[in-house]
Structure 1
């Protein structure tokens, strides 16, 4: 039997789905004859470069660098030989415009570029595991007639359909929804990352119920694990990330334009000189992440608590933000104690988590929540809202608290959770240990990869 597996992601490495591809493929390539494909941007050494990001995995990439350079020079990045990737999010002043703004002619060019790349495969794959719903689907459908398609939804494609429906003036919006529904229904199986997204996929994509299953993302529990750091070591990391090598960025400025001094780090200490509890947010500056709600809640918390507890905003891909930039939001409201560490490589994240005490991310309808799981694996209690993916894995076992679920878009509810987590050390440490125990049992990548192997075998055995 042909057991060739093709796994592909349309986007250059940037978001959580790229991390999922990397961790999952590492485990599956040991059991399958496989090929990995990805979009790529920039030269080797940059984290957006596919070869660099996926190293040591062998990856074949569609290079968007020429298209990106065309955009920088003021020409259309979708007219190049390898056109720029489109986005599932609608942002301004970026080269990767919203996918639903592409015309049928521009979509055809996208399909052709991926078809050309895939055509270099010597054998038709038995399975194509395609992440998101993108022009790659059309390329596979056109190129191979016997290949079975598994579509892996990460949630952002569903959010784009909702966005299109709420913005009827998008010139190609309805047409794009039709295309996405067609691609979903031509798939042999659709994988969602949470029960919330499973229900949403059934509603938005008009697919039969038996074709949609849920397999959550996993965590590498050998990389993300509890580590007790002495205060001096912990602060040496924060000094590096905030003072020595700052990567925070102001709107329309380069990384490193938000800088701190050692004196600014006094917020990290209690009166006795020990380290204060550290709050950590990790993510992109997108609307549904609700960073401004977090900043409002933090301001309320600061007005009610005498306990120092710096808030680190870790992330924000350079040049990308929706709504008011969080740095400007905090600056205009004089919210002290907030630190912007900028976008950092995923290899730094385990250290960032173990150098913190509480993970907080008040996203509304978060599709899954990979970084929540990684924080829990590091024995951090998590604060989230009672919506989306996190509600499926936080506080799910009676008597074993792993964090706090607060009302969405409610800064006062969030501020109360912040205060309880910061001021009750025993409670947060117990919740953190419960979180680690839960992740070890339920979400290790080795266990999750076995679910994918079983799924592949099921799809191959059914006509």
Structure 2
């Protein structure tokens, strides 16, 4: 349902690419915004994709699991019954057009109205549901009394869809207990399958750092601040000089409140003010699509904190990420509610030790003291301390980076993960075939 930009779209693309090697032909039914960064034909190039064009009115714009003021994608739990039916009707048409009733398995990402559409259009086809975690966050807010007008109706629907699923794919061990408690499913329904990386794309690259940062921050900048045009923040040759000679920390994320970019900037300024960071250390903030941010914008946090050597590089496509990671030394993710943390895995695959928060997905990805650093949520002092350790000790940084690279390639490579998930599809399809055979009349 989600148009290409978020993490689940990258997962769908990776699996659709890998599954044919394990005997599964894949058709992708997905939301799209034609002609731009959300164009499904471009994002899923060379795959069998059937776009549902939001701009053309094929379906209403998809909702979100986050309640963000002024956003085009309002929170699911605020949509009434009539709005729900409009979504179901639109995706039912898309499933009919894609011959969903002739498939062996429907692999549905997130708990959305696609489940209701599948039940109406292809009731005999087994469903495997991929929980990316954000749906669990919304359910937790509903359980805590969030005041959305249709919260309970959506919670009931999502529990029903989950319970009907043959399998629920979860990204980390910690999600199993949460899924059982929130959705009323059994642990046996849950299959652990973390997100991965493409080993042909993500690896340590030889990058001319001076040329790389000069191009992206001086010659063709994309950094931006609220109220200004995309690309409005540019830097001089003198300003970016530290990026060529000193250690570089990079943070790759959206500018949403849970990502805690402002906290990271303040932790950086704190370490600088205490004279604990190397003088030529730099922090690059990669991400933040123009016009999309919540709360304090990073540019404002930089000014307010007095942080030095912090650079806004703007939003870049996923294909550009390996070069950015290879031009850095440490990967930082300050997010307090990260359900997995694919960018941590991708950074590790490029030899970068991560600094992350000891909660949810990152706690399962990063081994503190071995492959990276873990700190408590919203702990500015601890985050500053980890930055100092990582950037001030090149020997320890390289040691953890080597272990991170090895760990990523052993645990998170998409070809191996896809093979395991293909086995789940095989099992689910075989069970469904057995049920059909049991129901078939005996001659």
TM-score, normalised with respect to structure 1: 0.89
Task: Name 2:95's counterpart in structure 1.
Answer: 118
Q: Give the C-alpha shift of residue 326 in structure 1.
A: 1.9
Task: Name 1:265's counterpart in structure 2.
Answer: 240
Give matches, 1:49-128, under 5 Å. 49-66=39-56, 80=57, 82-122=59-99, 124-128=102-106
Does structure 2 retain, via aligned residues, the 8 Å contact 1:39–1:63? yes
Would the alpha carbon gap of residues 390 and 101 (structure 1) be closer, same or farther in structure 2, given more than 3 Å must change? same
Task: Name 2:155's counterpart in structure 1.
Answer: 177
1:414 equivalent in alignment to 2:376: no
Q: Provide the C-alpha distance between the structure 1 equivalents of 2:117 and 2:228, rounded to a whole number of angstroms.
A: 37
Give matches, 1:229-378, under 5 Å. 229=207, 233-269=208-244, 275-303=245-273, 304-305=275-276, 306-378=278-350
Q: Give the C-alpha shift of residue 435 in structure 1.
A: 0.8
Q: Give the C-alpha shift of residue 81 in structure 1.
A: 5.3
Q: Provide the C-alpha distance between the structure 1 equivalents of 2:233 and 2:18, rounded to a whole number of angstroms.
A: 38
Q: Provide the C-alpha distance between the structure 2 equivalents of 1:309 and 1:142, rounded to a whole number of angstroms.
A: 57
Q: Give the C-alpha shift of residue 168 in structure 1.
A: 3.1
Q: Give the C-alpha shift of residue 29 in structure 1.
A: 3.0
Does structure 2 retain, via aligned residues, the 8 Å contact 1:221–1:440? yes
Give matches, 1:39-50, under 5 Å. 39-43=31-35, 46-50=36-40
1:381 equivalent in alignment to 2:320: no
1:428 equivalent in alignment to 2:397: yes
Equivalent of residue 17 in structure 1, options 8, 32, 38: 8
Q: Provide the C-alpha distance between the structure 2 equivalents of 1:307 and 1:198, rounded to a whole number of angstroms.
A: 44
244-253 vs 23-32, greater mean Cα deviation: 244-253
Map Cα deviations across residues 87-138 of structure 1 (whole Å, 9 max, x no partner): 1211122211111111110110011111101101345211000011111111
452-461 vs 367-376, greater mean Cα deviation: 452-461
Moved over 4 A (4+): none
Listed as ranges, the gaps of 5+ residues in structure 2 are 433-443
Task: Name 1:195's counterpart in structure 2.
Answer: 173
Map Cα deviations across residues 215-238 of structure 1 (whole Å, 9 max, x no partner): 111111221111243xxx212111
Q: Provide the C-alpha distance between the structure 2 equivalents of 1:241 and 1:390, rounded to a whole number of angstroms.
A: 28
Q: Give the C-alpha shift of residue 279 in structure 1.
A: 0.4
Task: Name 2:29's counterpart in structure 1.
Answer: 37
Q: Provide the C-alpha distance between the structure 2 equivalents of 1:26 and 1:102, rounded to a whole number of angstroms.
A: 34
Q: Give the C-alpha shift of residue 167 in structure 1.
A: 5.0
**Count of matched residue pairs:** 428
122-131 vs 425-434, greater mean Cα deviation: 122-131
1:162 equivalent in alignment to 2:140: yes
318-327 vs 401-410, greater mean Cα deviation: 318-327
Does structure 2 retain, via aligned residues, the 8 Å contact 1:253–1:319? no
Map Cα deviations across residues 225-269 of structure 1 (whole Å, 9 max, x no partner): 11243xxx2121112211222222222444212222223213325
Map Cα deviations across residues 363-406 of structure 1 (whole Å, 9 max, x no partner): 2231111000000000001111111111112127xxx8111111
Q: Give the C-alpha shift of residue 330 in structure 1.
A: 1.8
325-334 vs 101-110, greater mean Cα deviation: 325-334
Does structure 2 retain, via aligned residues, the 8 Å contact 1:307–1:423? no
SS at match of 1:224: coil
Q: Give the C-alpha shift of residue 162 in structure 1.
A: 2.0
Listed as ranges, the gaps of 5+ residues in structure 1 are 1-9, 67-79, 270-274
Q: Provide the C-alpha distance between the structure 2 equivalents of 1:414 and 1:82, rounded to a whole number of angstroms.
A: 43
SS at match of 1:307: coil
Q: Provide the C-alpha distance between the structure 1 equivalents of 2:38 and 2:129, rounded to a whole number of angstroms.
A: 23
201-210 vs 350-359, greater mean Cα deviation: 201-210
Q: Give the C-alpha shift of residue 55 in structure 1.
A: 1.0
SS at match of 1:119: helix
Q: Provide the C-alpha distance between the structure 2 equivalents of 1:154 and 1:188, rounded to a whole number of angstroms.
A: 17
Q: Provide the C-alpha distance between the structure 2 equivalents of 1:284 and 1:454, rounded to a whole number of angstroms.
A: 34
